[in-house]
Chain A
Amino acid sequence: MTVSILAPEIILSLAGIVVLLLSTISSKIKNLLFFISTTAAGAALYFLPFPTRTAGHLEISHTTKFFSILTIIALIITLLGSIEYTSKINSPPGEYIAILLWATVGILLFLKARDFILLFVALELFSICLYILVGYNTDSPLSIEGALKYFLMGAFASAFLSLGIAFIYGETSFTRFQQISHALARNGNMNAELIYIATVLILSVLFFKLAAAPFHSWSPDTYQGGVTPFIAFLSTAPKAAVLLVLIKFLPVILSLPNVTEYYRRIIELVAILSIVIGNVLAFQQLDIKRMLAYSGIAHVGYMLIPLVTLDLKSYAAPVAVYSLAYIIMNSAAFILVDYIFQNDNKPHLIEELAGIGYKYPLAAFSLTVLLISLTGLPPTLGFIGKYFVFLYALANGLLHLAIIGIVFSLVGAGYYLRVIYFLYMKQDDHQLSQKGNPFSLLVSSICALFVIVLGIYPSLVTDWIVMNIR
């Protein structure tokens, strides 16, 4: 094992340190800091390790590589979307960038982890960074409230995670996935019930990080109060990473005999609850960030559908396609919300979007494209994601999940399209502030373009995903 396997993590960590040091020199070099960090993200993308069959603590496969790319894409979108924001708040930009980079490091390690110790450390590494960044806008009580709730809930969840890990270690005396898997399959004198409860504890914490129902309660408050461009990151990258860990974790616990059906039912229940609760509660929201938070819960539900099959060989591909769509459209949507509203200290009411279609044509058009994609209408990437998931569900006899998913997509159309209605059909009677940073607009328009191009020509990526993601 060579150091080059960890090249992206090293690059990003160093970049974080450099940015932090530079920011102490002068407060006027904000753009330089963003330039350095974005370049570092690009370099990390370039130096992603070539997939090998490394065993041990770290796994480097096509799948981890794909999710690492998604994470770094979310990082780049967030960085470019945060430039304007950091100059408006009291707290210095250097720390914001450095912590964001380190959060990414944590997520990248988390993706690679094949060992509970590393998994836990990586999880804490990125979680702590995320707690800080949610509350980075210290001018806003909402931001601090969101951060505190997220932190306390997160600490609470971590306790359950360590408890679950401890139970498993106690029974098997291993922390590595592979060894645990072997031990479970051999099934010596272990207490199977205890192990089952331990796995449910760990799954619950993963669901919590995914903001899947019924562990979702933190997400609306956190998203609503949190630093908007950062929510672009929070709502996407960690979720995709946790999904991958779930994909890797399921084969381990499935080695436990006689409980396969239990896990299927757990995931099924969580998927259904997430889709129903997310879509129904999103319908009611007046604040677009809260609406996106609830709809994010629903999206997680869709992404969990393929996992219900427990078909280890094939369930990753549809999840990967949906994750790609979700990362691009959701992060860009939050960046645009920030671009349009400009003011993070008060609620982002949907009705304030009235007439924006004529004021900021490009921003409104991009947002429209992204919302159509989030709804899941063709010809967008969002449609392709849902198509893959539902097709996979139907092919594996999950008709009821497909029906629930499609019916509640219609509810989704109700609240997403309402935003478009406000953008174009309502008269403008509010005065929103001046234009935002061109980088925010640029990066989100590019995302919107991607969403359409990949919607028309999905095989550009889906062929690769279907071939390589296991």
Chain B
Amino acid sequence: MTSLIAIVLLPFLGAVVNGILSFSNSKRAVTFTALATTGGSLVIALYTIWRYLTELSPQPIEYVLYKWLEKPLEIQISFLLDPLSAIMLFVVTFVGFFIHLYSTGYMSDDEGYGRYFAYLNLFMGMMLLLILGSNLLVTFIGWEGVGLCSYLLIGFYYKQDEPPRASMKAFVVNRIGDFAFLIAIFISFAHFATLEYREILNAIATNQQLQDTVYIFGLTLPALLALLLFIAATGKSAQLPLYVWLPDAMAGPTPVSALIHAATMVTAGVYLLTRTNLLFQLSPNILKLVTLISVATAFMAASIAIAQRDIKKVLAYSTVSQLGYMFLAAGVGAFVVSIFHLFTHAFFKALLFLGSGSVIHAMEGEQDIYKMGGLKQHLPHTYITFLIGTLAIAGFPPLAGFFSKDAILAYTYDHSKAIYFIGLITAGLTSFYMFRMFILTFHGEFRGTEEQRKHLHESPPSMTLPLWILAIGSAFVGFIGKIPFTHYDLFGKILSPVIVKLEEKAVHHDVLHEVLLITLSVVAALLGLVAAKVLYSQGPTGDERLKSIITAPLYTLLKGKYFVDELYTFVIVTPLRTTANILWRFVDQLIIDGTLHLAAGIVQLISALGSFTTTGNLRNYMLYFVIGIILLIAYTVG
């Protein structure tokens, strides 16, 4: 499986070359490097995946690149190809390549062109490490690496005020999750003396005692690991309570939002849960926690999205909400469906972000949907593809989102009716906020300035081609999942070896139930569509009517994003700052620095005393030599 190395190394190579090229002004060379490396990676990946999945019964393949350190601290850099990583590999290289292509158009006028692609290629390499790593450490290297790239790219426009602040926020919030990941790594190593997924999971699966004994805080070891990994996932995948960084992350260039903050990096948490699904299946309490957190996140983010004006903010909250759906699926034990939704979401959400990028590009950087409207005529390709993406995310059959979301809701229905209804309402809200945004952007009268109207144009082919490719994907990839009323489920069949089956609990609804569930989903989506159409056909004034319907205080709450940021500032950031200030003044400056300076002073003093021996006088040196010999003999014999 040497091809895995090529897949991972090509983007890294691109990052290095582009990093060097960024000092020159050769945009062509940068474009070529960026596309050649990610394109090469994509082609090799497609070939590898095809070869792998068409085998009769694909076995997981481990490829040890090399051992970094030997026992006792054995750390190997190794890759794992199994159905799960194959699917992730497809998503990352496929979506990644087309977003690179799109970026060549979107970023063409930016002076940081080379720097941008160096970061973006680096991101691809790190993301591939994350998903292909066969142990926790390689995944962690990728995990931190994508976090770094996310930081660099959110703060890409570093001369403005907002992006650096947002990038810092993203980094710091992510660190909280990373901390949990690190502890999980330490605990795994302490108990299993290895970090390989296969060995850890085997050790747990075969040791009944380990599964039953309480380890700490009333948790068993698998439950503790599951909890830590889930905390890590809430950071990277923007779940409650750590989701706050993702909406701010929209300060980065739009293709970055599409690639990192919608299609790939933020789904790393979902991937991690599925990779270690045994741990979660062994700990029902943690799964319950996952369910509650995810459904709350999904609903809360969707409700915030209905009152936002910034086109990217709406999409950002929508991403948080959709990620909530993925975790919901994992929480009810349907890991296959969770990855399936990740898969379909990568297509339609990347499409929507790229479409919004195309709109923003045409509007000269304008992101406020109140100032858009009537773009349908000017941006025909963007319009149609955006419509497909919107229908897909809203869950209209037979587009991709319908299949995955319906499957999640079906599993949830079996699990708990109450949570099912929250999920259903969220689906309705999704349809509503998406069509609200869609109508405000593309229909009605143009509300921008005269200058913007003159500038309106469809994006170049390098941008519309990815839109169409992703639109086709959003329309059709749903069919590889479970088709309602049949037993046909290609996706589930591919993934089944990865998911541990502790007990058989497949969903067997009778036809009537199935019809009912599908009807409810479609009705929810339709209601959202109709409500949006009725309220917003006259433009942004619809918000006033929405306000009168749901009452002003609630509307203010939604528009203010439940004031979570303000709450965090008040409860965490400010006290932390104050404490940090105290620690800095007294503990750090006085005690720690004091001790350090004292130690350094002592060394310096001894050092100065020692320097007296260095007289520069040859007689002394010869004397030292003889004394040295006598010392050695006296020390040993005497």
Contact = CB atoms under 8 A, between A and B. Distances in A.
A411 B628 contact: no
B603 A149 contact: no
B598 interface: no
A214 B618 CA distance: 15
A283 to B, nearest CB: 5
B107 to A, nearest CB: 26
Nearest to B72: A391
Interface residues of B, number: 30
Given A200-B633, A204-B632, A414-B600, A277 B610 contact: yes
Nearest to B627: A214
Identify whether the interface residues of A are mostly helix, strand, loop, or mixed.
Answer: helix
Interface residues of A, number: 40
A223 to B, nearest CB: 12
Interface in A180-207: 196-197, 200-201, 203-204, 207
B603 A414 contact: yes
Contacts of A152: 618, 622
A284 B622 contact: no
Interface string B55-75: 000000000001111000000
B610 A280 contact: yes
Given A204-B632, A280-B610, A217 B621 contact: yes
Interface in A205-240: 207-208, 214-215, 217-218, 220-221
Nearest to B635: A269
B568 interface: no
B67 A459 contact: yes
A156 interface: yes
Given A149-B618, A152-B618, A458-B68, A265 B635 contact: yes
A349 interface: no
B578 interface: no
Contacts of A458: 68
B632 A153 contact: no
Contacts of A414: 600, 603
A118 to B, nearest CB: 24
Nearest to B615: A217
Interface string B607-629: 11011011010101110110111
Contacts of B628: 204, 207, 214-215
Interface string A262-275: 11011001100000
B606 interface: yes
Identify whether the interface residues of B are mostly helix, strand, loop, or mixed.
Answer: helix
Contacts of A109: none
A280 B621 contact: no
A242 to B, nearest CB: 16
B581 to A, nearest CB: 24
Interface in A353-412: 387, 411
B632 A459 contact: no
A407 B67 CA distance: 28
B318 to A, nearest CB: 40
Given A214-B631, A459-B66, A283 B622 contact: no
B67 A280 contact: no
A284 B625 contact: no
A397 B621 CA distance: 35
Contacts of A99: none
A283 B607 contact: yes
Interface in A405-453: 411, 414
Given A269-B632, A280-B606, A284-B608, A153 B625 contact: yes
Given A153-B625, A284-B611, A387 B632 contact: no
A290 to B, nearest CB: 9
Contacts of A281: 607, 610-611, 614
B66 A200 contact: no
16 contacts: A149-B618, A153-B621, A200-B632, A200-B633, A200-B636, A204-B628, A214-B624, A214-B628, A214-B631, A217-B624, A218-B621, A220-B614, A221-B616, A280-B607, A284-B610, A387-B69
Given A149-B618, A214-B631, A457-B68, 19 more contacts: A197-B633, A200-B629, A204-B628, A217-B620, A217-B621, A218-B621, A220-B614, A262-B636, A265-B635, A266-B632, A269-B635, A280-B603, A280-B607, A281-B611, A283-B604, A283-B607, A459-B66, A459-B68, A460-B66
